[in-house]
């Protein structure tokens, strides 16, 4: 994993743009993707990076989801407030109106949300659903069927030791 090597900016750029470690078609695409990945992964520490590089798929996926929740409060709140409420009510899928209702609630806390365009709202939902599918919390984007997971003990321990109560709250309730 590149971050474990603590690369300077030149080494980072070389790995992304010249070595094309992300295997993107253009350097611009590689830079955009690398920036997002770096922002998410730097919410974790070197111990987590080592776990990402060395551990089994389940641990990797859960740590990546934890990093994404830390990076995106919107995702975390959606998991905590919508996904877990559906589970609690024993409803097997997310409903089409859940996203709209969630954004209405968000707008009460942050008035800027009300100004988001329909295309922005749709894109954000698409990204959140893709993340939940990749993390195996949804069966597919089409079915929207909930497939809750128990947090791996090592991931739980990693987050607990670091007092990541918000992330734990999001991921522990979604089981």
Cα–Cα separations (whole angstroms), residue 92 to 69, 88, 120, 158? 23, 10, 27, 30
Query: Angle formed by the axes of helices 98-109 and 118-134, to 10°?
Result: 110
* Domain boundaries defined on the chain: 1-42, 56-173
Would you state the structure tokens that stand for residue 128, as one six-digit string? 């959140």
For domain 56-173, the CATH class is mainly alpha
Tell me the pTM. 0.89
Could you read off the pLDDT of 65-112 as tens digits, one per residue?
999 999 999 999 999 999 999 999 999 999 989 999 999 999 999 999
**Nearest CA among 89, 90, 98, 88 for reference residue 132:** 98
Could you read off the pLDDT of 119-149 as tens digits, one per residue?
999 999 999 999 999 999 999 999 999 998 8
Backbone angles phi, psi at 117, to 5 degrees: -70, 160
Would you tell me how many other CB atoms lie within 10 Å of the CB of residue 73? 14
């Amino acid at each position: 994993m590149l971050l474990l090597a603590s690369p300077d900016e030149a080494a980072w750029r070389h790995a992304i743009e010249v070595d094309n470690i992300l295997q993107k078609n253009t350097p611009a695409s590689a830079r955009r993707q690398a920036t997002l990945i770096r922002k998410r992964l730097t919410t974790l520490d070197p111990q987590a990076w080592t776990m990402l590089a060395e551990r089994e798929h389940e641990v990797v996926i859960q740590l990546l989801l934890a990093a994404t929740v830390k990076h995106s409060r919107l995702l975390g709140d959606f998991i905590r407030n919508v996904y877990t409420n559906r589970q609690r009510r024993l409803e097997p899928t997310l409903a089409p109106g859940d996203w709209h209702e969630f954004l209405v609630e968000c707008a009460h806390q942050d008035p800027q949300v009300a100004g988001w365009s329909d295309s922005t709202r749709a894109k954000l939902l698409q990204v959140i659903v893709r993340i939940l599918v990749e993390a195996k919390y949804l069966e597919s984007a089409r079915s929207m069927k909930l497939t809750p997971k128990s947090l791996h003990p090592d991931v739980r321990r990693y987050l607990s030791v670091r007092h990541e109560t918000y992330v734990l709250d999001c991921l522990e309730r979604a089981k």
